[in-house]
Amino acid sequence: MNKGATSFKETLQEIVFSGLTKANRDQHDEDSIPQKIKYHFVASALTGTIEWWVKSSMRYEPEVMVEHILHQLHK
């Protein structure tokens, strides 16, 4: 992966992580997994999936990707 792609991926991960943190600021999970770990996991999974999608010539429509990603996140 070139430096520009790495920088983009890292920036996207930070944006997703920050968004999750802000969106769930007032939420208190009774889960034993710390929120930071969950948010980093989701951010990494999301950016990895987007990277795969782009590298595979975006063979699925963006709306289809969103639908499937949201389905996975709500499992």
Mean pLDDT of all residues in 64-75: 92
Helical (H) or strand (E) element with 62: helix 62-73
Q: How confident is the model at residue 6 (pLDDT cuts 50, 70, 90)?
A: confident
- Backbone phi, psi, residue 37, to 5°: -65, -45
CB within 8 A of 42, min separation 6: which ones?
A: 16, 20, 73
**Overall pTM surpassing 0.85 (yes/no):** no
Number of independent structural domains in the chain: 1
Could you list the residue range(s) of the whole structural domain that residue 19 is in? 3-73
For the stretch 11-63, pLDDT in tens is 999 999 999 989 988 777 677 889 899 999 999 999 999 999 999 999 999 99
